[in-house]
Structure 1
Amino acid sequence: MEYILHILVMASLYVILATSFNLLIGFAGLFALSHAAFYGLGAYVTAILTTSLGMPFPIPLIAGVAFVAAVGVLVALPAIRVSGEYLVIISLALQIIVVEVILNWRGLTGGGDGIAGIPNITIFGGRLSSPGTFLPLAVAFAAGCFWIAWRLAHSPFGRALRAMRENASAAQACGKDLVYMKLTVFAFAAGLASIAGGLYAHYFNYVGPDGFTIDETIYILAMVILGGTGNLWGSVVGALVLVGLPEALKFINMPVDIADKARLVIYGALLILILRIRPEGILPEPQSRSVTATATAGGSQGKAQETLLKAEGSADAQPILEGRGLHKSFGGITAVSGFDIVMRRGQVTGLIGPNGAGKTTAFNLLTGFLKPDEGEIRYKDKSIAGLKPHQIVGAGVARSFQDLRLFTKMTVLENVVVALPRQSGDNVFKAYFAPRQVAREERENAERAMEVLRFVGLEDKADERAENLSYAEEKLLVVARLLATGAEVLLFDEPLSGLDGNALQEIFPVIRRLAEEGKTICIIEHNLDVIKTLCDTVYFLDEGHTMAVGSPDELMNDPELAERYFK
């Protein structure tokens, strides 16, 4: 019986590790191989504080969380600029460094001998010195850590994490602060892993470097993948399977000389079979309906739409966004040179020119995705040059991308909701300590998002994943998501490319009405019919500078431009 209780204690610790690791990999899309380092640091902080300073439980555990969360933030700093294989290398380096420090700082960590004599936890005078007495505490902590991870993952902040996982630049274009998000999720994942380390130290009364190597990180990663990334319940299942299955196989009677190897073969075959049948994991990421369920067809229709569509002031054609003398070079290649543009309220401005003329670079400069080498960008006569993309969205300038960059694994409604500005649930503190406010705003935001979908004609697709839409519907969703930001200036990068005539007739009125309601619109487009139908003013770019400015008819009747581009 003690043996089974011990297995359950270990399963509880691994539930904490797997769920916290899933926050990084499954929800944030940050593939870091340093989780065993966080686990080990939590164990060593507890061991050192209890054996050297005599601190009683839970002070060492709390100190471990604070210290390891800070280490997690330090690991996240490189993740601000790198991702993919580069983040793997950086986190793997941390994993190796932590183990090497433990091995070589013998005066503090005991080196290869580790630290022994860690006292048992004492609660209300009772010592938790056996699996049976320790199990309730382990289960309680596993449940508590699971709740913390669940609360984070299923808040508006968690929705923003999934958007960042799908496409980081698109999340920025929705007004999300990626630096804050990455630092926060790393801190949470590391802090939760340290709790498992602290409990491990108290349970075994000993910590040593062998238990926190890269092999341990891979073991935890296997739990996340087997259970299902993006599903915290999957992490629980993955932990239970990988901890319990090898032990269960020991009850199969086999000849002594082949028993160990045969059990390993069976164990590996079962895991391969499970992943073969369920490649996305035992419990794959669910399609969220929590937001969709709160949206109803009645109530605020009309009022919400008016709030979303109406720009500040009237459609008086006054200058709203201006770029002056913009210059951008990449090495020896000049992408934009001396570019000037003025976008006016209530008007549609076109940006045309041959491929490679610098149109998308101009958009990137105006929206903060690139910093100009020279020049000035002013929004309502205030400089916004140097602001981050999410800050520019917050100020009132938002953009789409030529390659759409939808959040394909999220529903249509979630794609719109995630772009709504000023969500209190994006703040982690409020997600935990102001749940009623967050829940109320979620209902309101669902209604606002449904109004946006009604405006573009996608309300009947609210529950569909974005990956299941037709190409024309994807284009409409791009418009909806951009509109949801609440920005006054909307920059569309080829919003109508690849559409047939019927689809164009669906989207033309949407863009035109936005301008009529006072929005400032700018579109990059190669389709001259679109330019003639929609645009009030057109800028012709070639080789990074403006060759001509005027109405569509004026530019199309210019002999030089007609020769260079229109024929």
Structure 2
Amino acid sequence: MEYIYHIAVLFCLYGILTISFNLLVGFTGMFALSHAALYAIGAYTTAILATDFGIPFPLDMIASVLVAAVISAVIALPALRVTGHYLVIVSLALQIIVLQVILNWKSLTRGSDGISGVPSYNAFGFAITSPDRFLIVALIALAACYWFTHRLVRSPFGRGLRAMRENESAAQAVGLNILYMKLSTFAISAALAAVAGSLFARYFRYVGVDSFTINETIYVLAMVILGGMGNLRGSLVGAAILVALPELLKFVPLPVDIADKIRLILYGLVLMLILLVRPQGLLPEPRGRKAMLVSVEDESGPSDAGKLLDGEGGRQGGVVLQGSNLRKQFSGVTAIKDFSIALKRGQITGLLGPNGAGKTTAFNLLTGFLKPTDGVITLNGRSIADRKPHELVSAGVARSFQDLRLFTNMTVIENVIVALPDQSGRRWPNLFLHPARIRAEERANAARAMEILRFVELENKAHETAADLSYAEEKLLVVARLLATGAEVLLFDEPMSGLDQTTLADIFPVLRRLAEHGKVVCIIEHNLDVIKELCDEVYFLDEGRTMAVGTPDALMNDPELAERYFK
């Protein structure tokens, strides 16, 4: 029986590791190769504190968690500020450095000899040394880690992680703080790995560098892929199979001289068969209603636009967002030069010009995705040139993208809810400090999201995956998501491109209502009929500068512009 208890303990340790790695890779999309190093940090911290300093449980585990979380966050910070492949390089470097430190800092880690004689747990005077007793401790730790991670991913914070995984720029454009979410997730994942490491040290009563090589990271990654990326139950299934399968194969009668090799082949064939049948893993990521934290009512009803739109009550005029003498230079190439624009409340402004004129670059400058080389950008008279995109959304400026960038693997209503501002649950400590408040906010946000979907007439698609929408419905979802941000200034990059006249007739009233209720609307558009139908004022750009400003009719009747663009 002790053998079975031992296998069960190993399952618990790998279950915690797989849950923590799935949080990082499956839910966030950040691929790192340092998980075994973080596992090692947890194990060695506990071993050193318990052996050399006599630190008791749970102080040793708390210290392991804190050390792993801090080290991982400090190491990840420079990589996360750039792009994903840098994280792979930095995490691999962390793996190598940690093992080298363990091998060479002999006065602390005992080098290649490892640390033996780690004290076992004690409860009410009983030493927890046998596998059956330790299994109780391991199961409690696994249950706690599972509950913690489950609460994390089934929350506004977890929804933000999935949005970030699908498209970082779109996540920023709805107000998500990407750097905060990445650092938090990386540190939490490391902390959970350290829990497993601390248990490892106490259970085996020995830690050595051979237990924490990069092969261990690959082994845990295989568990995540087998069980299902983005599914915590799948993590446990993957861990159970890969821990138990090699042991079960030992009971297959084989010739002694080739038994090990044949078992390895059988092991590989079983894994290949499972992944061929279920390439997405045994338990795929939950979607639709299963991914929602609270239930959402589907009943439809008339949308009260006046109540929904918290603008300026239809007031016209008054400059809200202004760019003055903007210039943007890329390595000697000037994309924008001497560009000025003033967006007014209650008006629809058009940005017109040939391809390559600098229209999207202008949007990127106004929304913080690019910093101007020169010039001033103000929102309600205050400079915003140094603000990050998610900060500008909170301040009142939101934008869409020419290629839509919806969160296609999330439902329609989730695409809207993730954009709603002031969600306490986006700060993960609040999930555990104020759970009742978070659930109440979720119910209110779900109701508001349904109201927004009714406004754009997508309420019947609320629980469909965004990838299943028609192109026209995707355009309406872009409008809904932008409206959900609560921003005063809404910038649409070619919202009407590729739509037929019937669909245009459905979308025109939506944009007009936004302006009528005090929103500042600016659109990039090539379709002159759309410009004439919608826009109160038009800026014509060419070669990165403003050629003319005026009403649609005035610009289209300008002989020079007609020669350049309209004919």
Change (3 A) 1:96 1:292: closer
CA shift for structure 1 position 93 = 1.0
Structure 2 contact 288–465 (Cα < 8 Å) conserved: no
For 1:516, the equivalent position in structure 2 comes to 516
For 1:308, the equivalent position in structure 2 comes to 308
For 2:493, the equivalent position in structure 1 comes to 493
* Percent of aligned pairs with the same amino acid: 63
CA distance in 1 between counterparts of 2:509 and 2:555 reads: 24
For 1:434, the equivalent position in structure 2 comes to 434
CA distance in 2 between counterparts of 1:472 and 1:174 reads: 21
For 2:266, the equivalent position in structure 1 comes to 266
Work out whether 1:419 is the aligned partner of 2:387: no
Shifted more, 417-426 versus 254-263: the winner is 254-263
Change (3 A) 1:177 1:375: same
For 1:242, the equivalent position in structure 2 comes to 242
SS in 2 for 1:65: helix
For 2:295, the equivalent position in structure 1 comes to 294
CA shift for structure 1 position 225 = 0.6
After TM superposition, list the pairs within 5 Å mapping 1:353-502 onto structure 2: 353-502=353-502
For 1:196, the equivalent position in structure 2 comes to 196
Amino acid across the alignment from 1:222: A
CA distance in 2 between counterparts of 1:385 and 1:307 reads: 32
Structure 2 contact 303–454 (Cα < 8 Å) conserved: no
For 1:280, the equivalent position in structure 2 comes to 280
CA distance in 2 between counterparts of 1:284 and 1:443 reads: 26
CA shift for structure 1 position 96 = 0.9
Amino acid across the alignment from 2:179: V
Structure 1 contact 12–138 (Cα < 8 Å) conserved: yes
CA shift for structure 1 position 293 = 6.0
CA distance in 1 between counterparts of 2:403 and 2:530 reads: 18
CA shift for structure 1 position 506 = 1.1
CA distance in 2 between counterparts of 1:270 and 1:425 reads: 41
SS in 2 for 1:547: strand
Amino acid across the alignment from 1:532: K
For 1:22, the equivalent position in structure 2 comes to 22
Shifted more, 497-506 versus 481-490: the winner is 497-506
Structure 2 contact 416–484 (Cα < 8 Å) conserved: yes
SS in 2 for 1:408: coil
CA distance in 2 between counterparts of 1:540 and 1:300 reads: 41
For 2:349, the equivalent position in structure 1 comes to 349
Structure 1, residues 394-450: CA drift from partner, whole Å, max 9, x if none? 011100000110001100000000000001111111111211111111111001001
For 1:318, the equivalent position in structure 2 comes to 318
For 1:525, the equivalent position in structure 2 comes to 525
Structure 1 contact 119–205 (Cα < 8 Å) conserved: yes
Shifted more, 285-294 versus 321-330: the winner is 285-294
For 1:225, the equivalent position in structure 2 comes to 225
CA distance in 2 between counterparts of 1:409 and 1:48 reads: 45
CA shift for structure 1 position 147 = 0.7
CA distance in 1 between counterparts of 2:236 and 2:43 reads: 21
CA distance in 1 between counterparts of 2:103 and 2:13 reads: 24
SS in 2 for 1:184: helix
Structure 2 contact 368–387 (Cα < 8 Å) conserved: yes
CA shift for structure 1 position 88 = 1.1
Structure 2 contact 80–87 (Cα < 8 Å) conserved: no
CA distance in 2 between counterparts of 1:380 and 1:306 reads: 23
Structure 1 contact 42–197 (Cα < 8 Å) conserved: yes
Change (3 A) 1:90 1:320: same
CA distance in 2 between counterparts of 1:266 and 1:292 reads: 41
Corresponding pairs, count: 566
The normalised TM-score by structure 1 is: 0.98
Structure 1 contact 292–446 (Cα < 8 Å) conserved: no
For 2:53, the equivalent position in structure 1 comes to 53
Work out whether 1:547 is the aligned partner of 2:551: no
For 1:39, the equivalent position in structure 2 comes to 39
CA distance in 2 between counterparts of 1:498 and 1:258 reads: 64
For 1:8, the equivalent position in structure 2 comes to 8
CA shift for structure 1 position 25 = 0.6
SS in 1 for 2:370: coil
CA shift for structure 1 position 301 = 6.4
For 1:153, the equivalent position in structure 2 comes to 153
CA shift for structure 1 position 509 = 0.9
For 1:65, the equivalent position in structure 2 comes to 65
CA distance in 2 between counterparts of 1:522 and 1:111 reads: 64
SS in 2 for 1:239: helix
CA distance in 2 between counterparts of 1:59 and 1:388 reads: 39
Change (3 A) 1:133 1:190: same
CA distance in 2 between counterparts of 1:97 and 1:136 reads: 34
Work out whether 1:257 is the aligned partner of 2:257: yes
CA distance in 2 between counterparts of 1:292 and 1:307 reads: 26
Q: Which runs of 5+ in 2 are unaligned?
A: none
SS in 2 for 1:294: coil
For 1:84, the equivalent position in structure 2 comes to 84
Change (3 A) 1:183 1:84: closer
Structure 2 contact 155–293 (Cα < 8 Å) conserved: no
Structure 1 contact 291–446 (Cα < 8 Å) conserved: no
CA distance in 1 between counterparts of 2:292 and 2:231 reads: 17
For 2:117, the equivalent position in structure 1 comes to 117
Structure 1, residues 56-106: CA drift from partner, whole Å, max 9, x if none? 111111101011110121133024323332221111111111111111111
For 1:565, the equivalent position in structure 2 comes to 565
CA distance in 2 between counterparts of 1:293 and 1:474 reads: 24
Amino acid across the alignment from 1:352: L
Structure 1, residues 448-487: CA drift from partner, whole Å, max 9, x if none? 0011111111111111111111111111111110000000
CA distance in 1 between counterparts of 2:393 and 2:312 reads: 15
Amino acid across the alignment from 2:100: E
CA distance in 1 between counterparts of 2:311 and 2:459 reads: 23
For 1:181, the equivalent position in structure 2 comes to 181
Q: Which runs of 5+ in 1 are unaligned?
A: none
CA distance in 2 between counterparts of 1:130 and 1:78 reads: 44
Structure 1, residues 88-132: CA drift from partner, whole Å, max 9, x if none? 111111111111111111111111111111011111111111101
CA distance in 2 between counterparts of 1:247 and 1:531 reads: 69
CA shift for structure 1 position 288 = 3.7
CA shift for structure 1 position 292 = 8.5
SS in 2 for 1:553: helix
CA distance in 1 between counterparts of 2:415 and 2:124 reads: 50
Provide the alpha-carbon RMSD of the alignment.
Answer: 1.3
CA distance in 2 between counterparts of 1:313 and 1:169 reads: 31
SS in 2 for 1:447: helix
Change (3 A) 1:224 1:410: same
